[in-house]
Amino acid sequence: MKIVVTVKLVPDPNAEKRIDPTTKRLVRTGVETVLNPYDEYALEAGLQLKERAGGDSRVTVFSMGSAALKETLRRALAMGADDALVLSDTALEGSDVWASAYAMAKALSTLEFDLLIVGGLTDDSSTGAVPGALAEHLGLPCITNARKIDVGDGKLEVERETDVGYQIVRGSLPVLITTALTFGEPRYASLKGIMGAKKKTIGTIGVSDLSLDLPVGTSGSKTELRSFAPPPARGKGRTVEAADGVAGATSIFEFLREKKFV
């Protein structure tokens, strides 16, 4: 079975984020870069499926972003992925979700796969719009929020997490699946994995390797960021002092009603 997992490289979630006032883009250099946390769950899913399928099953990691950061993907290779492919090109700078998903889909269509596993959300832009857009561009069915995936004889059964419970979805391959955070904790890279990752391939492709029919980058984007501002400083909180629980709950309810939350 051939599995591709998308992994975005994002600024460390604990690092302070800064927007460049000129480009109006998130500053991604000079801050520690990590694998997008959601994508580690997607990778864990891919690795478990590869182990279960055995044989010549492979997991390829795909990322679009700066080639200068691609060594960060060694961590995914150390966890057990077989190889990685990075789509990187200055022509992609300024791509919004529309343009990014289009370019990513074109690059992914150069790879052969049965399963495309995508994280549900990124830690930096957090739109959650990429998986659906990729499925649409690639003409794949999209099953979101999987907490369990079974593949056998080309048949697929996915247990999805929903707001009200669980849902079983059956289908066939190829398919795009996003993983829920309840899929299972991502594994740590072993020392053997870290050593082995040094020899694994991280390939790079650019825009000229893709047959694009539409523009990408700023000119291919449909979103324009006109202005931005830091959130207003937090005001002083209100302390509610109440004689008992009922009076306290009533005060909190009145406060929420005043703010139009209820």
Ligand X SMILES: Cc1cc2nc3c(=O)[nH]c(=O)nc-3n(C[C@H](O)[C@H](O)[C@H](O)COP(=O)(O)OP(=O)(O)OC[C@H]3O[C@@H](n4cnc5c(N)ncnc54)[C@H](O)[C@@H]3O)c2cc1C
Binder of ligand X out of 19, 27, 53, 97 (CB under 6 A)? 97
Contact letters for ligand X, residues 193-232 (x by CB under 6 A) = ----------------------------x-x-x-------
Nearer to ligand X, 142 or 251 (CB): 142
Strands of 17-128, DSSP E: 33-35, 58-64, 83-87, 115-118
Position 38 contacts ligand X (CB under 6 A): yes
* Dist CA 28 CA 74 (whole Å): 18
How many residues in total does the chain contain? Answer: 262
Report DSSP letters for 152-181, one per residue: ETTEEEEEEE-SSSEEEEEEESSEEEEE-T
- When the beta carbons of 58 and 251 are compared against ligand X, the nearer one is 58
Q: Which residue is nearest to ligand X (CB)?
A: 119
Candidates 11, 46, 65, 193; binder of ligand X (CB under 6 A) is 65
CB–CB of 44/185 below 8 Å? yes
- Max Cα distance, the chain (Å): 71
* Of 1, 43, 49, 64, the one binding ligand X by CB under 6 A: 64
Residues of this chain that interact with ligand X (CB under 6 A) are: 6-8, 25, 36, 38-39, 42, 63-65, 93-97, 100, 118-122, 124-131, 221, 223, 225
